[in-house]
Chain A
C-alpha cells in the first residue's frame, strides 16, 4: 500500500494529546492555523510497518457541540475530511468525563480507536480498569498506553492498521436513548432518508443533531422550514429539552459501562494535586503566591536572563555583524547606498527588534512552564472576579500583565482564551499596557522635565495605560463584541511536572512564529524607514532634509492641538513605529545631541519646543499611540486579518490623540 493514511487525534484538553502526537510524529511536524481561524493546526508524518501515516492533531475539546470554534473544527474535520481512523485519547484517571467525548466521536460513524492514557496515574490512585471488557462493551478497540513513556504506542498503531486492513470488524455499540427518544430518532432517520444531502453522513448521528436543533446541521440539510412542525412534536411528554436529555442518557450509559469495568478506590485520599491546591489557591495565600510568581517571571525574563542577553545581542548586531557585513561589502566593492541599506537599514532594523528575542524566549519559557504545570488554570480561577469587571475572563489576566514586558509575546499569549471575542478584545487593548521599550522614553523625558518627580510621572503613565486598557475593553465588550461569550466553566487540571521536551516544543513553535512572520514585516519596514530617513527626492540626504523630515513637517500640524506641533516630535513619533525606544534616539539625532544624551543636555535642547505640560502630553501620546511594527506583525498573525490589524493601528492613534488632547487642554486650563 503506497497510499498515505490519515489518523485524526481527538481528545479532551489535558488528556496527553500533545504528548501522544509528539510521540507519534517526533520532530517531523508542521504547525499552522486552521483555515480562516487562529486555532493551531498540527500535522505530522510517521511510518509504521512500512505504512505511511499523516497524523492530524485536532483541537482539544470536551465535546463536539457547535458552540466553540475548536469543537466545530474537530467535528467538521472528522465528518468532512473522513480520516481513516480517529484515535481518541482518553485520560484513564478521569475516565468518566473523557468517555463523553468518545461517545460523540463514535456516533460520527468513523472508526474510532481509544488510547487509554495515563494508566499509571489511574493505577496509583487506586483505579482498576478492565480495558478488554471496556472494549467489548463499547464495541471499539481500547489500547492502554502511557504517552509520556511511549508505552503502548506500537499496540495502538497495530490496532489502527487492523482496522484499516479490516482485520477487526468495527462494530460500535450505540447509546440507548430510551423509548421515547429512540422513537423520535427512528422517525427522523426515515425523514432524512429522503434528503439527498444526508446520504454522505451517518444517519443516526444526523438525526440526533436534527433533534438537538443543531443550527449548522439544520442549515446543511436545508431543514429550517420543517423545524416548526418537529419542534411542536418534540414538546410532548419529554421532561427536559432534547439536548439535555441526550447528554443525560450519554452519561448514564457511560456510568453503566464503567460500573462493570472500573473498580474505584474505596476511600478517596487527597491527591498530591489537591494538597498543592490547598496552599496555592488558598483564601489568604492564593493572591500573595500569585503575586510572587508573577514577580519571579518578570525578574527572570527582564532582569536575570533577558537583559544580559539583550546587551549581548545588541553588541552582536551593532558591532560584530555590522563590521563583518561592512568588510564583506567593501571587499566586493558595493556602492555606498547598498552598504548603508544593508548595515544601517536591515541589520540595524532587524537587529533592533531581535534584541527582544531573549526576553521573548524567557517569557515563553516561563509561560509554558506555568501552562504545562497546570498553574495557569489557577490564575484564571484566582483572577476571574477582577477581570470580569471589565467584561473579560480570568484567562485574560496573564496576557495583560505580560504586556508590561513586551506586547509581542503578550499578544501571542492570548491564545489561552478560547472565546474569539474575548481574544480580540484582549489583543486590541494589550498595547496600552506599557511595554519595556517605552520606558527609555519616559525615563529621559521625566528626568529632563520633572527632575524631582520622575518616579511619580513614570508611574502615572503606567496607571494611565491600565486605565485606558480597562475603559477600551469595556467599550469593546459593549459595542463591537457584544453578545454571549463562552461561559467560564473550566477544568482545573491536576498539577504535573512539565516535561522538558514538551516545554522545548512549545517555546520553539512560538518563537519560530515570531521570527518568521514578524520578521518579514520588520525586515520590510526597516527598509522603508531607512529610505525615508536617508533620502529625499533628489538623492541621499541628511535626516533633517530627508523625506522623513518632510513627512514630519506635513504631519506636525496634527499634533499642534496637543501642544507639540513641531516637525522633530512628529518625525520621532513616525519612526517610533519601528520600535518605541527609537523615539528618544531619533530626537537626539535631530537636535544634534549624542545618541545617549544626559538629561540636562536633553532638557536644554528640548526646552525650546517643550514645556513641562507638553512633555507630559508627549509621553502620554508615546504610551498610547499606534504599536510598533513587531506588535503590528503579531496582531496580523494572531487575528489572521488585515482588517483588525488596520483597525488596531488607527484606533490606537485616535485614542492616543484624544487622551493627549484632553490632558493638554485640562493642563492648560489649570495653568500648567
Chain B
C-alpha cells in the first residue's frame, strides 16, 4: 500500500515521491512547491476536520484531504 499525505499523522514529517493525477489540481500543487523530494510536515487539521495545513518549503499551505490523497509519501 502506498502511503499518502492524507495518511500522515499530525506533527508527522514525510518526503514527497510522486503526485498522482493530472490537470489543474496537480499543476497547482506543483506550482505551490509540492514536488518530488520535498519534505512536508503536517501542522494541523481545520476545526471541522478538513482541510489540513502543512508546512512545505518554509511556508504554510492548506489543501483538502481529497487532494492530499494524491500525494504519495515515502
Contact = CB atoms under 8 A, between A and B. Distances in A.
A67 B31 CA distance: 11
B23 A281 contact: no
Interface in B40-71: 44-51, 53, 57-64, 67
A487 B28 contact: yes
A96 B47 contact: no
Interface string A86-120: 00000001101100100000000000000000000
Interface stretch (A50-58, A153-161, A236-244, A304-312): A236-244
A380 B51 CA distance: 10
A190 to B, nearest CB: 27
A96 B58 contact: yes
B18 A251 contact: no
Interface in B5-58: 18-19, 22-33, 35-38, 44-51, 53, 57-58
A284 interface: yes
Contact of A385 (B25, B49, B61): B49
A350 B56 CA distance: 52
Interface in A468-511: 484, 486-494
Given A244-B30, A282-B47, A487 B36 contact: no
B26 A244 contact: yes
Contact of A247 (B22, B25, B31, B46): B31
A88 to B, nearest CB: 15
A244 B26 CA distance: 8
Contact of A281 (B25, B37, B47): B47
A530 interface: no
A265 B23 CA distance: 36
A386 B50 CA distance: 9
Given A67-B27, A488-B64, A489-B63, A385 B50 contact: yes
A617 to B, nearest CB: 36
A287 interface: yes
Contact of B48 (A62, A243, A382): A382
B46 A487 contact: no
Interface string A512-540: 00000000000000000000000000000
A60 interface: no
A65 interface: yes
A489 B51 CA distance: 9
Nearest to B38: A251
Contact of B31 (A100, A248, A282, A377): A100
A18 interface: no
B50 A94 contact: no
A384 B31 contact: no
Nearest to B30: A247
Given A67-B27, A381-B53, A491 B60 contact: yes
Contacts of B61: 489-492
B59 A489 contact: no
Contacts of B19: 244
A286 B47 contact: yes
B53 A492 contact: yes
Contact of A489 (B29, B44, B48, B60): B29
A63 interface: yes
Interface in A267-296: 277, 281-284, 286-287
Contacts of A252: 37
B35 A248 contact: yes
A490 B25 CA distance: 12
B4 to A, nearest CB: 15
A96 B67 CA distance: 22
A286 B46 contact: yes
A382 B46 contact: yes
Contacts of B59: 94, 97, 491
Contact of B27 (A65, A282, A283, A493): A65
Contacts of A283: 44-45, 47
A108 to B, nearest CB: 16
A235 to B, nearest CB: 14
B24 A486 contact: yes
B12 to A, nearest CB: 16
B62 A490 contact: yes
A655 B56 CA distance: 46
A275 B38 CA distance: 24
Given A96-B57, A97-B59, A489-B29, A247 B47 contact: no
Nearest to A127: B58
29 contacts: A62-B32, A97-B33, A97-B59, A240-B36, A243-B27, A243-B30, A244-B19, A244-B35, A248-B36, A281-B47, A282-B47, A283-B45, A284-B47, A287-B48, A381-B46, A381-B53, A382-B46, A383-B48, A384-B51, A484-B24, A486-B24, A487-B29, A487-B63, A487-B67, A488-B62, A489-B29, A489-B61, A490-B61, A490-B63
Given A385-B46, A487-B24, 15 more contacts: A63-B27, A244-B26, A244-B30, A248-B36, A283-B45, A286-B46, A286-B47, A382-B46, A382-B47, A486-B28, A487-B67, A488-B67, A489-B61, A489-B62, A489-B63
Interface of B: 18-19, 22-33, 35-38, 44-51, 53, 57-64, 67
8 nearest interchain CB pairs? A63-B31, A286-B47, A247-B30, A492-B60, A385-B48, A487-B25, A67-B24, A96-B57
